[in-house]
């Protein structure tokens, strides 16, 4: 596996498969209360410039279950890129910790941190990508559907960081993906080019359009996310109007296959991007997704820090 975990695009199919297989094993061990302290006495420094519930809790508990220690850094004290340069923080933390995690706005900070760190850097979210979430998502789909190849994943909403990482994961793993966004809110062009290149290799179809009805038709999975991500709060009212026709509701779900599952990375705004009856209904797997963040991230940590045979 690469030194860092920054983008699913960087991974080979075999590396993704290795994460998935190890995730299954670690999840089973956790359910059976079997010790799996593969990272005994290992440590991770966590930098959170964006608020977090699932990411912080899942990584802290995951590292503890693996026998290691995760330390959350005081953001006002660290002042990444302001009080101290990103390069100096990377050099310093990599002398103390065995891994550095960052959840931030600027993807450039993730890249710079990895450049100057001697230890693995994990992208726990940037404005560009959310690879840990997408790995948990495809693991969840595999659990529910048995296999991934040839499935249709419909992503409805904003072409954001979650959408970007899902595109990379779908392209690598053989999932056909249809993305429906309002005009002007499609995925980043550079990400699209990279995902299309991956899809060409695997024979996957990725379509980007502006019609949620077409996207949802015969889908195996329907996925959505908030219309205004962190840092876009001032655009929330404007986006509500623009995205109103992209709400995932029972009418849209009825266009998909009968056994279609609904996914959302959370937190969710019931009544905006999804109705309560859908997210709280029988087709929803959102809390399975949330749980699988724990197991997938433990697998990523184990492989990055060389504890697989511990």
| Integer-rounded Cα radius of gyration of the chain | 19
Sign for the CA dihedral angle at 215, 216, 221, 224 comes to: positive
Token output for 72: 């959350």
Q: State the catalytic residue, choosing from 163, 181, 260, 265.
A: 265
State how beta strands 121-125 and 152-156 pair: unpaired
Q: State the catalytic residue, choosing from 103, 128, 239, 295.
A: 103
Residue 293 is among the residues annotated as catalytic for this protein = yes
**Is 284 one of the annotated binding-site residues?**
no
Half-sphere exposure of 157 (CA within 13 A, CB side): 27
Q: State the catalytic residue, choosing from 9, 36, 128, 130.
A: 130
**Is 161 one of the annotated binding-site residues?**
yes
Residue 265 is among the residues annotated as catalytic for this protein = yes
SS3 content of the chain, % helix, strand, coil (to 5): 45, 15, 35
**Is 52 one of the annotated binding-site residues?**
yes
Q: State the catalytic residue, choosing from 4, 225, 239, 247.
A: 225
**Is 104 one of the annotated binding-site residues?**
no
**Is 132 one of the annotated binding-site residues?**
yes
Any bridge partners for residue 18, and if so which? none
**Is 295 one of the annotated binding-site residues?**
no
Question: What Cα–Cα distance (Å) separates residue 51 from each residue in 31, 122, 130?
Answer: 29, 17, 14
**Is 55 one of the annotated binding-site residues?**
yes
Cα gap 18→205, rounded to integer Å: 24
**Is 302 one of the annotated binding-site residues?**
no
Torsion angles phi and psi, residue 26, rounded to 5: -70, -35
**Is 229 one of the annotated binding-site residues?**
yes
Q: State the catalytic residue, choosing from 133, 142, 247, 289.
A: 133
**Is 212 one of the annotated binding-site residues?**
no
**Is residue 36 within 8 Å of 43, Cβ to Cβ?**
no
Q: State the catalytic residue, choosing from 181, 293, 295, 297.
A: 293
Residue 56 is among the residues annotated as catalytic for this protein = no
Residue 65 is among the residues annotated as catalytic for this protein = no
**Is 230 one of the annotated binding-site residues?**
yes
**Is 218 one of the annotated binding-site residues?**
no
Annotated binding site for L-ornithine: 161, 225, 229-230
Residues classed as catalytic: 103, 130, 133, 225, 265, 293
Annotated binding site for carbamoyl phosphate: 52-55, 103, 130-133, 265-266, 293
Annotated binding site: 52-55, 103, 130-133, 161, 225, 229-230, 265-266, 293
């Amino acid at each position: 596996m690469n030194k860092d975990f920054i983008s699913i695009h960087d991974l080979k199919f075999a590396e993704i498969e290795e994460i998935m297989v190890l995730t299954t094993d670690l999840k089973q061990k956790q359910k059976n209360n079997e010790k799996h302290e593969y990272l005994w006495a290992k440590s991770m420094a966590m930098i959170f410039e964006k608020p977090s519930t699932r990411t912080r809790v899942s990584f802290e508990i995951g590292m503890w279950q693996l026998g290691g220690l995760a330390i959350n850094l005081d953001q006002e004290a660290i002042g990444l890129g302001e009080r101290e340069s990103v390069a100096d923080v990377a050099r310093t933390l990599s002398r103390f910790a065995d891994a550095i995690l960052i959840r931030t706005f600027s993807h450039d900070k993730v890249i710079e941190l990895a450049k100057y760190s001697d230890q693995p850097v994990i992208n726990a979210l940037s404005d560009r990508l959310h690879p840990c979430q997408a790995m948990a998502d495809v693991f969840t789909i595999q659990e529910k559907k048995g296999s991934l190849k040839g499935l249709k994943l419909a992503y409805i909403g904003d072409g954001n960081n979650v959408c970007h990482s899902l595109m990379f994961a779908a392209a690598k793993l053989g999932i056909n993906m249809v993305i429906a966004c309002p005009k002007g809110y499609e995925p980043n062009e550079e990400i699209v080019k990279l995902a299309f290149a991956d899809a060409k290799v695997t024979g996957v179809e990725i379509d980007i359009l502006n019609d949620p009805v077409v996207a949802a038709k015969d889908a195996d999975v329907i996925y959505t996310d908030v219309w205004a991500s962190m840092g876009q709060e001032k655009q929330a009212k404007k986006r509500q109007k623009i995205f109103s026709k992209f709400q995932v509701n029972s009418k849209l779900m009825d266009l998909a296959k009968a056994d279609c599952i609904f996914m959302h990375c959370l937190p969710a705004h019931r009544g905006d991007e999804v109705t309560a009856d859908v997210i709280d209904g029988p087709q929803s797997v959102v809390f399975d997704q949330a749980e699988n963040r724990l197991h997938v991230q433990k697998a990523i940590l184990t492989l990055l820090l060389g504890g697989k045979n511990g």
